[in-house]
Structure 1
Amino acid sequence: MTWETVAGVLGGLLLMYAVLLALLWGYARRHPATVTMKDALRLLPDLLRLIRRLVADRTVAVGVRIRLALLLAYLLSPIDLVPDFLPVIGYADDVVIVALVLRSVVARAGAEAVERHWPGTPEGLQLILKLAGLGTAR
């Protein structure tokens, strides 16, 4: 492999990373009220308990439990796609990833499973379901 190939691959990866950062920054600017930092920090313990409970629930499909375990590992990992010290977009990648995984979990396991295992307040459940692309709890 020549140095031109390596430089081209690294340049392409850096370009893709820059595009990801720009898209996350644009999303965070257009949707500032999706989840505020205060809401995210307040919901984090309940969200982690929800994920743990769903992973332990044998009635939830194995694929869903694997996705949730990978999400939990990503959230607990000190390595992020976008470093959290960057203003605005530092936590936007976490919110986008959580929202995408929650959408897939709700689509596969159903909103009932999320509602059944939610340990927090009804307002927190509403916010989680909003993140998952649903309007309200039943």
Structure 2
Amino acid sequence: MRDWFIGLGIAMLCLAASWGLLLILARRLPPGILRDLAAFIPDCVTTVRRLRKDPRVPRRAKIAIVVAGVWVASPIDLIPEFIPVIGPLDDIVVVALALRYAGRQVPRDVLLAAWPGEPRLIERLLGDAR
């Protein structure tokens, strides 16, 4: 039993180290589409957290945003995460759909204020202002 716990600890340490390495490498990416994709999910998570707490966001939009956040955090995926390039694609699609729905329910300035990343990305996702 003790060996199992040691193995689990080593696995968790390797996982944390690989995440740290990926974060360092993502920050070193040159400006462009790869950097935007690497930052998309963390920016979406920050946006979800900010919108969930904002009183100006309607309940239906909050539910859609929380469902998208749970989807991203869930270990169950339509496309397994370990598949290169397309692994996180289902997460990106679900979050994009939820943010687009919220964009129709929430005032545009509230959504733009909650987005921590490059404003052109969220504006492109939301489409033209109505």
Fold in common (TM above 0.5): yes
Task: Indicate the RMSD between aligned Cα atoms, in angstroms.
Answer: 2.2
TM-score by length of structure 1 reads 0.61
1:42 matched to which residue of 2?
39
2:116 matched to which residue of 1?
119
Give how far 1:104 is off.
Answer: 0.5
Alignment partner of 1:51 is 2:45: no
Secondary structure, counterpart of 1:59 in structure 2: coil
Give how far 1:106 is off.
Answer: 0.5
| Contact 2:57–2:106 (8 Å) recurs in 1 | yes
Instruction: Check 1:44–1:91 CA distance in 2 against 1; reply closer, same or farther (3 A cut).
Output: closer
Structure 1: runs of 5 or more not aligned:
1-34
Task: Report percent identity of matched pairs.
Answer: 35
Tell me the distance in 2 between the aligned counterparts of 1:129 and 1:83. 29
How many pairs were matched up? 98
| Contact 1:115–1:125 (8 Å) recurs in 2 | yes
Give how far 1:107 is off.
Answer: 0.9
Secondary structure, counterpart of 1:89 in structure 2: coil
CA-to-partner distance for each residue in 1:96-129, whole Å, 9 max, x for gaps? 1122111101111132221122233xxx221122
Tell me the distance in 1 between the aligned counterparts of 2:89 and 2:75. 15
Comparing 103-112 with 40-49, greater Cα deviation is found at: 40-49
Structure 2: runs of 5 or more not aligned:
1-31
